[in-house]
Amino acid sequence: MANMTKPREALVFPPDKSSSIDLYIPPSSTSSQSTPTKPFVTLTYATSLDSSLALSPGVQTALSGPESKAMTHHLRSRHDAILIGCGTAIADDPSLNCRIEGVGGYGGKGLEGQPRPIVLDPRGRWDVNHESKVVKLAAEGRGKAPWVFTLGEVGHERNHILEDVGGQFVRIGGGDVLEWDDILRVLAEKGLKSVMIEGGGHVINSLLSPKTAHLVDTVIITLAPTWLGKGGVAVIPDERRDEQGTKLAVGRLKDVKWVPLGEDVVLCGRM
Ligand SMILES: NC(=O)c1ccc[n+]([C@@H]2O[C@H](COP(=O)([O-])OP(=O)(O)OC[C@H]3O[C@@H](n4cnc5c(N)ncnc54)[C@H](O)[C@@H]3O)[C@@H](O)[C@H]2O)c1
Ligand SMILES: Nc1nc(=O)c(N)c(NC[C@H](O)[C@H](O)[C@H](O)COP(=O)(O)O)[nH]1
C-alpha cells in the first residue's frame, strides 16, 4: 500500500533534473549566499510564448506541465520564503506550501522544508479568512502561515485569523508603496536568508524595473509552449534609457542554462 508511506498529493522532482537547476538556488535554507541586509532573491514564474502569466488579470492559468510544476515545488523546498502580490492571492487562492515528497506535512517532520509565504498587500485588499487555502494548510500542519506585508493597520478579526495559525501582519515602510529595499531588509531582519518571488505581473514588473532589477540574484523561468493572446498579464518591465535618452536593454542574463522539462523548457540565469 504505497499510500501508507507516501502522501497521495506528494510530488517528486528527479535528482538528474535538479542537479542543473540547483546551481541557481541557495544550496540549503541555512547557507548564506546573501549579504546581511538582503536575502538571496530568486525570481521565478511560468510564462507563455507571448510573455503572459495568465489569460487575463485575476484569472488563474495553468502554464507549467507536471514536470515543471514539480520543479517549482523543489524550489519552494529550497527557499526560506515564497513571495507573491495580493493580486495573485485574490485571483488564485494559492496554497503557497511545498508538496515535494519528504518535506514537513508530506512525509517529513514538522514544517521542515516548508517556505514562509509572504503576501504584499499594502492596502489590505486580500480578504484572508478561515477558508483561505494557505490558512487551512497552516492549521493542518502542511505549510507555514503567511506573513502579510501592509502599509497601514488591519482589522482585529483578520489579525486573529492569521495569528491563530502562526502568521502575522507586518506593517512596513512609511510611504505610499511597499519599497523593495524595505521588503527585503525586513525579510533579512526576520532571519530569512532566501526568497523566491513568484509573481504576479505587477510584482515582477516592478522588481525588474531599472532601479531594482539588481536586487535579483537568479532567475528561473518556465516557458510553456502556448500563446495566451492580447489582454493577458504580461511581463514587460519599464524601459531603461541612458543620460542621452537612448533606449537600452533592461538587463541580460549571464551564465544561462536551458533545461527541458516535459513539454516546457526552464531558463536559468544570473542577473
Ligand atoms: N504564471 C505564473 O507564474 C504566475 C505567477 C503568479 C501570478 N500569476 C497570475 O498573475 C495574476 C496576478 O497578477 P497581478 O499583476 O494582477 O497581481 P500581483 O500578484 O502582482 O499583485 C499586485 C499587487 O501587489 C501589491 N504590491 C505591493 N508591493 C508591490 C510592489 N513593490 N510592486 C508591485 N506590486 C506591489 C499592489 O497592491 C499590487 O496591486 C493572476 O492572474 C495570477 O494567476 C501567474
Ligand atoms: N510555476 C507556475 N506555473 C503556473 O502555471 C502558474 N500558474 C503559476 N502560478 C504561480 C502563482 O503563485 C500561483 O498562485 C501558485 O502557483 C498557486 O499554486 P499553489 O496553490 O501555491 O500550489 N506558477
Mean pLDDT of 143-151: 97
- Tell me how far apart the alpha carbons of residues 97 and 117 are, in angstroms, rounded to a whole number: 8
Helix locations, 96-238, DSSP H: 133-139, 156-164, 180-189, 201-207
* Cβ(206) – ligand 2 distance below 6 Å: no
Mean pLDDT of 158-184: 93
Ligand 1 atom 33: the closest Cα is on which residue?
203
- Tell me how far apart the alpha carbons of residues 79 and 132 are, in angstroms, rounded to a whole number: 22
Mean pLDDT of 186-190: 97
Mean pLDDT of 77-98: 97
Residue 257 has which C-alpha cell?
542554462
Q: Which atom of ligand 1 is nearest to the CA of 206?
A: 32
Q: Please, are residues 93 and 129 in contact by the beta-carbon 8 Å criterion?
A: no
Q: How far is the CA of 216 from the centre of ligand 2 (A)?
A: 20
pLDDT bracket for residue 100 (50, 70, 90)? very high
The ligand whose atoms approach the alpha carbon of 151 most closely is 1
Q: Please, are residues 195 and 42 in contact by the beta-carbon 8 Å criterion?
A: yes
Amino acid letter for position 101: E
Q: Which atom of ligand 2 is nearest to the CA of 99?
A: 22
pLDDT in tens, 10-41: 999 999 999 999 999 986 644 555 456 899 99
The ligand whose atoms approach the alpha carbon of 9 most closely is 2
Amino acid letter for position 69: K
Query: Per the omega criterion (within 30 degrees of 0), is the bond before 200 cis?
Result: yes
Helix locations, the chain, DSSP H: 15-21, 66-77, 86-92, 133-139, 156-164, 180-189, 201-207
- Tell me how far apart the alpha carbons of residues 45 and 223 are, in angstroms, rounded to a whole number: 9
Q: Please, are residues 52 and 228 in contact by the beta-carbon 8 Å criterion?
A: yes
Ligand 2 atom 6: the closest Cα is on which residue?
62
* Cβ(34) – ligand 2 distance below 6 Å: no
pLDDT bracket for residue 152 (50, 70, 90)? confident
Mean pLDDT of 123-141: 96
pLDDT bracket for residue 1 (50, 70, 90)? very low
Dihedral over Cα of 83, 84, 90, 91: its sign: negative
Q: Does ipTM surpass 0.95 in this model?
A: yes
The ligand whose atoms approach the alpha carbon of 179 most closely is 1
Taking the alpha carbons at both ends of the chain, their separation in whole angstroms is: 46
Asked whether residue 210 carries a pLDDT value surpassing 80, the answer given is yes
Amino acid letter for position 148: V
Q: Please, are residues 162 and 218 in contact by the beta-carbon 8 Å criterion?
A: no
| pTM, rounded to two decimals | 0.95
* Cβ(1) – ligand 2 distance below 6 Å: no
Q: How far is the CA of 3 from the centre of ligand 2 (A)?
A: 25
Q: Higher model confidence: residue 174 or residue 189? A: 189
In this predicted structure, what is the pLDDT of residue 173?
76
Q: How far is the CA of 88 from the centre of ligand 2 (A)?
A: 9
